[in-house]
Amino acid sequence: MRRLAAALALTLSQSVLAVEAGGPVPDVSGPRIDAPSQSLALSSLRGQVVYVDFWASWCAPCRVSFPLLDALYRENGSRGFVVVGVNKDMSLEDAQKFLKKVPVTFPLVGDAKDAAAKAFDVKTMPSGYLVDRKGVVRKVHRGFTAETGAAIREEVDALLKEPS
Amino acid sequence: MKMSRILALAALLAAGCANVAPYQRGYLARESMALDPNPGMAKALEKTYSAKEAASGGASVGGGGCGCN
């Protein structure tokens, strides 16, 4: 009886534990959608402050977040800050259409098989994970408003000042 | 015994559900997933229907008959 209940509970909860602040960043990689035949692994960005942003063309707040994140990347890129946009569109065409309207300069990767989204256990779109130079997730932002943008700006500035 | 039957039923019912993860909601945003894939056309058809059949409000709007809405 108890076993049955446990089995039922297990089937219903498919997800792994969500990535939260304080934990290590999962090592995910994916093909670049902005630069054909290149790929990007998060482990290759160790030593930099990274903002991993899960986005999609159907995600309305992403229209707000993209210009703000891009500005932040342009300003702080030379100090060792990088934004990685993980795309969650069903078709690449949708993503490209969105990018024509909201162009960005930071690297974008695809995640067609949901490996990255599952590794992070993304709960909301958009979800952003701010990772310090040592590869530790320091802040998780679920959802996005203009205030989120201002908060990220301060957090990035603080993390960039930390020694690597 | 009774409890395990309920649980078995719950397991059966749960098997029929598909979880849509937050990052998979692009599927739900598809046009073909809409309750009414063509709301403009549906509205026009409804207007024609209610005019022809004198059935204003027959579809979903409350009222009708008294000429007051």
10 Å Cβ neighbour count for A16? 11
Q: Does the beta carbon of B7 lie under 8 angstroms from any beta carbon of chain A?
A: yes
Instruction: Name the residue type at position B53.
Output: E
pLDDT tens string A74-93? 999 899 999 999 999 988 89
Task: Output the pLDDT for position A102.
Answer: 92
Interface test with B, best of A28, A53, A88 (most B CBs within 10 A): A88
User: What single DSSP character describes residue B58?
Assistant: S
What are the percentages of helix, strand and coil residues in chain B, rounded to 5?
50, 0, 50
pLDDT tier at A14, thresholds 50, 70, 90: very low
Interface test with A, best of B1, B13, B17, B23 (most A CBs within 10 A): B23
pLDDT of residue A47 exceeding 70, the answer is yes
pLDDT of residue A148 exceeding 80, the answer is yes
Domains of chain A, each with CATH number or no CATH: 29-161 (3.40.30.10)
Do B22 and A8 count as a contact with CB atoms less than 8 A apart?
A: no
Residues from chain B that touch A55, judged by Cβ atoms under 8 A, are: none
Percent of chain A with pLDDT over 90: 59
Euclidean distance between CA atoms A149 and A142, whole angstroms: 12
CB contact at 8 A, A81 and A164: no
CA distance A159 to chain B (A): 28
Query: Counting one residue from A and one from B, how many pairs have CB atoms under 8 Å apart?
Result: 47
Euclidean distance between CA atoms A83 and A77, whole angstroms: 9
Q: Which structure tokens are listed for A156? A: 């990035």
B21-39 average pLDDT score = 84
CA distance A11 to chain B (A): 9
pTM to 2 decimals?
Answer: 0.74
Percent of chain A with pLDDT over 70: 90
pLDDT tens string A84-119? 999 999 888 999 999 999 999 999 999 988 899 999
Euclidean distance between CA atoms A65 and A147, whole angstroms: 10
Task: Output the pLDDT for position B38.
Answer: 83
Predicted-complex ipTM score: 0.71
